Amino acid sequence: MSETVLPLGGAKVDGLVTVGEMALGMISLRGTLESEAIATAVTELAGAAMPQPLKASAQGDRALLWMSPDELLIVLPHAEAPQAAHDLAGRLSGEHTLVADVSDARAVFALSGDDARLRETLAKLTPADLSPGACPSGTVRRTRLAQIPGAIWLSEPGTVRVLCFRSVARYAFDLLATAAAPDAPVGVY
């Protein structure tokens, strides 16, 4: 098995919040999420319940993220993703689905710190309402981060995961690092 290679080699910065690159195994599943076969297969794989729209359901280092009405992102340890995607595709061969290991096509940044500062840092970059009332912990939002698409997973108070395409990892990290700087201005990204 090959070693995990992070796009930026494990970049990390401390500011108002800590921003650090991390590895996650990610399987994208497209299909009819109401299907009993799909629900059974993904909940058994993740050990977590099917998430409601705009939510995540997690159990330990595994999670199911609702990405759209016909898409889930299955999060698991990076090393397990290729085999898990293969097994899941086989298990769902009779269903109209698309299963793809997207672990190496994405970059993931972990943000940690005071919850209000996390939300303030992200609010500098996205038009999404990230207030606690609009986005409580457990919420997943697809949005824009300045000029790029991304997803924000507010996994628990004080912890956020930002997902984007690997090809824009440097841009995303620099945005997050700048927004997290103690003297970062608002609205110039």
What phi, psi does 163 have (nearest 5°)? -115, 140
Please give the C-alpha separations between residue 182 and each of 13, 16, 168, in angstroms, as whole numbers: 12, 6, 24
The range of the structural domain enclosing residue 88 comes to 12-180
Dist CA 65 CA 26 (whole Å)? 10
Portion of the chain with pLDDT greater than 70, in percent: 96
pLDDT number for residue 84 = 98
Has residue 153 got a pLDDT over 70?
A: yes
- How far apart CA 145 and CA 80 sit, in angstroms, is 29
Q: Edge-to-edge strand order for the sheet containing 62-68?
A: 56-59, 62-68, 71-76, 25-30, 98-101
The confidence score (pLDDT) of residue 187 equals: 58
Looking up residue 66, the CATH number of its domain turns out to be 3.30.1360.120
Tally the domains of the chain. 1
Residue pLDDT, tens place only, 5-34: 899 999 999 999 999 999 999 999 999 999
Q: What are phi and psi of 146, to 5 degrees?
A: 55, -110
Does a structural domain hold residue 185?
no
Instruction: Indicate whether 29 belongs to any domain.
Output: yes
Residue 100 belongs to a domain: yes
Q: Report if residue 173 sits inside a domain.
A: yes
In a domain, 66, yes or no: yes
- In whole angstroms, what is the distance from residue 171 CA to residue 177 CA? 10
